Amino acid sequence: ILREFSLRENSGGNGKWRGGDGVIRCLQFRRPLSLALLTERRVFAPYGLKGGGNGARGVNVLKKRSRTVNLGGKITLRVDAGDILHLQTPGGGGYGTI
């Protein structure tokens, strides 16, 4: 079930031309299944150029009942019915000094 799909406001890096904002997606699983994630820019932020600021790093989090698990960028795991996956994609790096 898609619980949220929105812009990740202010995730783009500063600069004469700001980096683009990432998105937020929250998915709730209706039954147990195997989940594979292959994402980037979870450890190193998207870099800015010519004096522009870095974009925000991406985040992958799984909420299981009363606990929250940071998944990192690349993982395969089993999820249960009711678990919620929160994906925050990175923002783009900015370009140029302000």
> In the chain, how many domains are there?
1
Backbone angles phi, psi at 67, to 5 degrees: -125, 155
Asked whether residue 47 is assigned to any structural domain, the reply reads yes
Asked whether residue 95 is assigned to any structural domain, the reply reads no
Asked whether residue 77 is assigned to any structural domain, the reply reads yes
Question: Using one digit for the tens of pLDDT, what is the confidence trace for 55-95?
Answer: 999 999 999 998 999 999 999 999 999 999 999 999 999 99
Question: Using one digit for the tens of pLDDT, what is the confidence trace for 10-52?
Answer: 999 999 999 999 999 999 999 999 999 999 999 999 999 999 9
Asked whether residue 94 is assigned to any structural domain, the reply reads no
Task: Give the H or E element holding residue 68.
Answer: strand 67-70
pTM: 0.91
Asked whether residue 96 is assigned to any structural domain, the reply reads no
Q: Which domain holds residue 41?
A: 2-88
Residue with tokens 């010519």: 50
* Distance in angstroms (rounded) separating the CA atoms of residues 14 and 33: 39
Backbone angles phi, psi at 16, to 5 degrees: -55, -40
Asked whether residue 9 is assigned to any structural domain, the reply reads yes
